[in-house]
Amino acid sequence: MAANLELEQPLWVAEPLYILLARHGHPQAHEAARRLAVRVREEGVDLFRVLQAARREDPELDRVVGAFDEAEWALLKDPRGYQGKAEAQARATAAWWRARLVEWRVPATTKER
């Protein structure tokens, strides 16, 4: 399994890249990240090389990527710290349902008539 993960390492940044592109207003963030990931896999080169070439070809991509700050570049260079929002979303959903259950619960002192 570790060997398989290592083979895919250049693509580990695809999701954080997509999130950053979207955060900075790229209108086709998901598609842009997907295309870059395909080029990485097909050309067998590192994402940063592909990204730099794509920036020269696409003014919108260049504008958006140019807005990345140091912390965002650091995340792309070492995505192991990226966790996405799955945990936060799951916790928020659970909290929402807990609140609904409390809201819908019939008080213990109420008797049926």
The pLDDT tens digits of the residues spanning 41-87 come to 888 888 889 999 999 999 999 999 999 999 899 888 887 766 667 77
pLDDT of 109 above 60:
no
pLDDT of 108 above 70:
no
Helices (H) and strands (E) in the chain, counts: 7, 0
Domain coordinates in residue numbering, the chain: 2-82
pLDDT at residue 54, rounded to an integer: 95
Amino acid at position 55, single letter: R
Strands (E), 24-68: none
pLDDT at residue 27, rounded to an integer: 93
Residue 111, phi-psi category: left (phi > 0), alpha (psi -120 to 50), beta (remainder): beta
Which pTM does this prediction carry? 0.66
- Tokens at 104, concatenated: 């819908």
pLDDT of 36 above 70:
yes
